[in-house]
Amino acid sequence: MSATAMGAAPGPSGLPRLLAGLDPRGATMTHADHVRVHGELPRSSPRQLIEAVEMSGLRGRGGADFPTAVKLRSMAGGGRRATLIVNGSETEPASAKDRLLLTRLPHLVLDGAVLAASAVGAGTVIVKLGEHSREAVRAIEGAIPVRPAEPVDLHLAVGPDGYVTGEETAVVQYLNRGVAKPTFVPPLPFQRGYRGHPTLVQNPETLAQLALIARYGARWFRELGSEADPGSALVTISGAVSAPGVYELAFGTSMTDLLAAAGGASEPLQALLVGGYFGTWVQASRAFALRLSREELRSVGCALGSGVLIALGERACGLHESATVIEYLASQSAGQCGPCAYGLPAIAESVRALADGVAHERERERVLRWCAQVRGRGACHHPDGAVRFVESALSVFGAELEWHRRQRCTAPPVGLPLAPGGAAGPLPAAARR
Partner 1 sequence: MSDRLRVNPITCEAHGLCAELLPELIRLDDWGYPIIDQAEVPPELLELARKAVDACPTLALALERAPAAERPGAPGPPRLPRIP
Which residues of the chain form contacts with ligand FMN (CB under 6 A)? 60-64, 66, 87, 89-91, 163-164, 166-168, 201-203, 206, 380-382
Site for ligand SF4 in 345-374 (CB under 6 A): none
Q: Are β-strands 124-130 and 83-88 bridged in parallel, bridged antiparallel, or unpaired? A: parallel
Chain centre to alpha carbon of residue 329:
16
- Tell me which of 1, 32, 70, 419 binds partner 1, using CB under 8 A: 70
- Sole window of 30-38, 106-114, 218-226, 381-389 interacting with partner 1 (rule: CB under 8 A): 381-389
- Tell me which of 50, 75, 114, 164 binds ligand SF4, using CB under 6 A: 164
Instruction: Select 38 or 181, whichever has its Cβ closest to ligand SF4.
Output: 181
According to DSSP, residue 30 is labeled: P
**Residues 26 and 104 sit within 8 Å (Cβ to Cβ):** yes
Q: Does 387 bind ligand SF4 (CB under 6 A)?
A: no
Kindly give, in sequence order, each residue whose CB lies less than 8 Å from that of residue 179, ignoring residues fewer than 6 positions away: 173
Site for partner 1 in 300-329 (CB under 8 A): 301-303, 305
Cα separation of 268 and 312, whole Å? Answer: 9
Closest approach of partner 1 to the CB of residue 385, in Å: 5
The total of other beta-carbon atoms located within 10 Å of residue 296's CB is 16
The site for ligand SF4, by CB under 6 A, has a size of: 15
> How many residues belong to the chain?
433
Per-residue contact flags (x/-) with partner 1 for residues 72 to 101, judged by CB under 8 A: -xx---------------------------
Closest approach of ligand FMN to the CB of residue 330, in Å: 13
Q: Does 365 bind partner 1 (CB under 8 A)?
A: no
**Residues 99 and 140 sit within 8 Å (Cβ to Cβ):** no
Closest approach of ligand FMN to the CB of residue 334, in Å: 9
* DSSP one-letter string for 253-271: -BHHHHHHHTT-BSS-EEE
Instruction: Select 313 or 428, whichever has its Cβ closest to ligand FMN.
Output: 428
Closest approach of ligand SF4 to the CB of residue 27, in Å: 37
- Tell me which of 135, 161, 167, 205 binds partner 1, using CB under 8 A: 167
Kindly give, in sequence order, each residue whose CB lies less than 8 Å from that of residue 163, ignoring residues fewer than 6 positions away: 91, 92, 277, 328, 329, 332, 382, 420
Helices (H), 76-182: 97-104, 106-120, 134-143, 168-177
- Tell me which of 173, 206, 238, 333 binds ligand SF4, using CB under 6 A: 333
The total of other beta-carbon atoms located within 10 Å of residue 432's CB is 17
CA angle 169, 170, 173 (to 5 degrees): 85
Q: Does 234 bind partner 1 (CB under 8 A)?
A: no
Closest approach of ligand SF4 to the CB of residue 380, in Å: 3
Cα separation of 174 and 162, whole Å? Answer: 12
CA angle 304, 307, 310 (to 5 degrees): 95
Closest approach of ligand SF4 to the CB of residue 333, in Å: 4
The site for partner 1, by CB under 8 A, has a size of: 52
Cα separation of 315 and 133, whole Å? Answer: 32
Q: Does 385 bind partner 1 (CB under 8 A)?
A: yes
Positions touching partner 1 (CB under 8 A) are 63-66, 70-71, 73-74, 167-169, 182-186, 188-190, 200-201, 275, 278, 280, 298, 301-303, 305, 336-340, 342-343, 346, 370, 373-374, 377-382, 384-385, 388, 391-392, 395
Positions touching ligand SF4 (CB under 6 A) are 164, 181-182, 333-337, 340-341, 378-380, 382-383
